[in-house]
Amino acid sequence: MTRTIPRRDFLLGSAALAGAAAANAFTCVEIANAAPMAVPTVDKLSVRVLVDSSFDLFFRPKQINGVSIAPAARGGDFRKSLHNEWGLSLWLESEGGGNQRTLMLDYGYTPEVLLNNMALIGVDPAKLNALIVSHGHYDHFGGLNGFLDKFRDKLPADLKLYAGGEDNFCHRVNPTPTQGQFADFGTLDRRQLAAQKVTTVLCETPTVIADHAFTTGKITRRSSERVLPNTLVEFGIKDGLGCNVGHYLPAEMEGKIVPDEHIHEHATCFNVRDLGLVVISSCGHVGIVNSVKQAQEVSGIQKVHAIVGGFHLGPAPKDYLTQVVSEIKALNPDVVVPMHCSGLNFAQEANAQMEGKVVVTTTGSRLTFGL
C-alpha cells in the first residue's frame, strides 16, 4: 500500500524535499497511497513488551476474555536482568493466510535497554519485515539508531520505517523555569535513517504494513478528549534536521515553538479473525478514543477486541479521566491493556468502570490474541 512519488510530483505536493534536498535528508522517502484500503485479517497476533517502565518478577500467566498473557522466561544467568525505563517498544508477530509477519513498533528511550532486553527475551531481528514509529517523542525513538547500528545487516535490504507523517520529524523541546529558554528533547533524524539505507514512509493516510497490519493515518479529533500538556514543538528545518511544515501548516508557523499537538501521531492496528480490532496506541496524545474511532472508520470494522499501549492519561485530572474511561467503556472492548504513560490512575479508574477487562503487563511479557 505504498508508492514512490515521482520527484516532480513530490516537489509540487510538499515543500519538504525542496527545503532539504541539499542536506540529502529526503533521499529515501515514500508517501502512503491514498487509495481505499483493503484491511487484512490475521488469525493470531502476539505482542511482546520489549521496553516499558516496570518489571514484576512474580508476574503469573493469565487469561482474560480470550486474551492470554505470559511473563518472560527466566534466563539461565542470574547476573542478567530485564531493564526498565520511561519509554515503550513492542515486538509484533502475526499469522494469517499461511504467512507470518514480524514488526517492531517504537524503540524505547535508550539502545542499551532495548538491546539488553531483546537479547534476554530472545527475539530475532532477522525475522523483521518492517519498522514503525508512532510519533516524534524521544522515549519512542531513542533506541532506534543503536538498534540499526547493531542489526542493520540482519534486516531486509529494502527496510522501511513507517512514520505517521512530517510532524514526526519535528524538533521537540521542554520548557525551563527561564522564560524563552528550552531543554532539548531530541529530533528523529532522517539523515541517519537514509545513511542506514532505511526508507521512510509517511503514513498520513491509512496504510497496510507487510500485508498484516494497518495504520490509522492522521487521527481525527472527534471525542471529548484533548491533548494534555506534554512537550513543545519547533516547526522548521535547520541543516537538514527537523520538519518542513509547508504542506500541512500555514507558512507563518515556520520557526515557531508552540504546544505540541502531535498532528501526525498514528496507531497501529490488526484485525484478528472472529475477534475484531486490536488497536495499539503507543502514547495516545491525540486521544485513545479518537484513535480507536479512527481505526473503526478507516477499516469499516466496529468490533473492538483490544485497546493496547500508552494512553497518556497519567497526568489527567480526575473528572477528565472519568469521562475518557466512560467513553472507552462505550466502545465495548473485550480487554484494555494499559502500558507506559497510561498511569496508575487510569488502571484504577478502568478497573472501577470496566471490571474484569483490564489486563496488566510487565516488561518482557507476551500478549496473545487469537488462536
Summarize pLDDT for 72-130 with one digit per residue, the tens.
988 888 899 999 999 999 999 999 989 999 999 999 999 999 999 999 999 999 999 99
Burial 164-199 (b: 16+ CB within 10 A, else e): bbbbbbbbbbeeeeeeeebeebbbbbbbebbebebb
Burial 43-76 (b: 16+ CB within 10 A, else e): bbbbbbbbbbbebeeebeeeebeebebbbbeeee
> 3-state DSSP call for residue 232?
strand
pLDDT classification of 167: cutoffs 50, 70, 90: very high
Summarize pLDDT for 1-25 with one digit per residue, the tens.
433 333 223 223 333 333 333 333 4
Nearest to 188 by CA among 207, 170, 166, 164: 170
HSE toward the beta carbon, residue 131, CA cutoff 13 A: 28
Tell me how far CA of residue 154 lies from CA of 48, 87, 117, 141, 298, in angstroms: 20, 25, 18, 20, 34
Residue at 136: amino acid letter: G
110-114, 141-145, 151-155, 227-231, range with the lowest pLDDT = 227-231
Give the CA dihedral 133, 135, 139, 145, nearest 10 degrees.
40
Summarize pLDDT for 202-216 with one digit per residue, the tens.
999 999 999 999 999
Summarize pLDDT for 309-323 with one digit per residue, the tens.
999 999 999 999 999
**According to the model, what pLDDT value does residue 276 have?**
98
> 3-state DSSP call for residue 102?
strand
Across the chain, mean pLDDT equals: 91
Rounded percentage of the chain residues whose pLDDT exceeds 70 = 92
**According to the model, what pLDDT value does residue 7 have?**
29
Which three cell numbers mark 18? 525542496
In the chain the first and final C-alpha atoms are separated, in Å, by 27
For residues 210 and 101, is the Cβ–Cβ distance under 8 A? yes
Summarize pLDDT for 173-182 with one digit per residue, the tens.
999 999 889 9
Nearest to 134 by CA among 310, 319, 351, 368: 310
State how far the Cα of 292 lies from the Cα of 272, in Å rounded to an integer: 15
Helix ranges restricted to H, 5-154: 7-13, 15-20, 111-121, 138-141, 144-151
State how far the Cα of 158 lies from the Cα of 356, in Å rounded to an integer: 43
